[in-house]
Amino acid sequence: MKLYFDIGNTNIKLNFREKEEEKYFSFKTKDENITIDSFFNMLPENIIQNNVEKVFITSVVPRLTSLMTRMVKKYFQIEPKILAFPIKTGLKINATDPKTIGADLIALSVFAASKSNNSIIINLGTSTTITHIENKDVKGFIIAPGIQGSFESLIDNAAKLPEINLNPIDKVLGNNTSECLSIGVLKGHSHMLKGFIREIDRNADIFISGGHSYLVEKYIPGIFIEEATIKGMKVLEELNGF
């Protein structure tokens, strides 16, 4: 069995294959008291009972990378593969220092490049990222505040605004506070994304992924990809012969 861990600022995503079926699990990463043992105990029982042969990790949280590595060594007696630089990507990455580019952005870029010769991949998570890849040349990146973080910041700083569940709204103007907030946050974010798409390359294929992608699905034309980072990890695995 192979395990794929995508460690983000808010969640850890886990993927493995069981009986020809892809399984996905998600764990919160905000718990500062998490330990090697408590993390192992969070894993699904069917993983614990199986023979784990390989573990792959992408991470933007160094503390959790270390924790995960030690957990894998202790309980599975193997060395996990950290999918970060220096690693073969098959891409030219235009960055002042490629080592500073997040492992998630690398995996997303590799995934997009495997699907299209000219693409923009958008990932909506804790932050919103936009990456343009053309003919295996990563032109550059954009990092913006994420949907949920922007919304929570507004609520925290505006005494009379209530906490609500954000929902996509069809109209342009709202008639109550809940509608107004949903339109402002979700359509506002979508207009930002569409503006960047027009400015970067309106002819590029658009891939959209991430935990908050469903909130903009009705506003932005594109190909919505479930777990694009993990799919990119598998491309990296193949490229590097792991």
- 58 annotated as a binding-site residue: no
Q: Is 87 exposed, middle or buried (0-12, 13-18, 19+ CB in 10 A)?
A: middle
Nearest-10 Cα torsion for 39, 62, 132, 55: -40
- Cα 33–Cα 232–Cα 136 angle in degrees, nearest 5: 135
- 222 annotated as a binding-site residue: no
Structure tokens at 203: 């002819």
Amino acid at 154: L
Q: Which of 37, 104, 170, 201 is catalytic?
A: 104
- 12 annotated as a binding-site residue: yes
Beta bridge partners of 21: 18
- 107 annotated as a binding-site residue: no
Within 13 Å of residue 14, how many CA atoms lie on the same side as its CB?
Answer: 19
Q: In angstroms, rounded to a whole number, what is the distance separating the alpha carbons of residues 62 and 7?
A: 9
Is residue 86 a contact partner of residue 172, using CB atoms and an 8 Å limit?
no
- 177 annotated as a binding-site residue: yes
- 13 annotated as a binding-site residue: yes
- Residue 177 has a CB neighbour count (10 Å cut-off) of 12
- 81 annotated as a binding-site residue: no
- 105 annotated as a binding-site residue: yes
- 92 annotated as a binding-site residue: no
Phi-psi region of 90 (alpha: psi -120 to 50; beta: other; left: phi over 0): left
Structure tokens at 208: 């959209």
Structure tokens at 37: 């043992």
- 102 annotated as a binding-site residue: yes
Residue 170: active-site member: no
- 229 annotated as a binding-site residue: no
- 156 annotated as a binding-site residue: no
Give the three-class secondary structure for 92: strand
- 241 annotated as a binding-site residue: no
Please identify every residue annotated as catalytic: 104
| Binding positions for substrate | 102-105, 177
| Binding positions for ATP | 6-13, 126
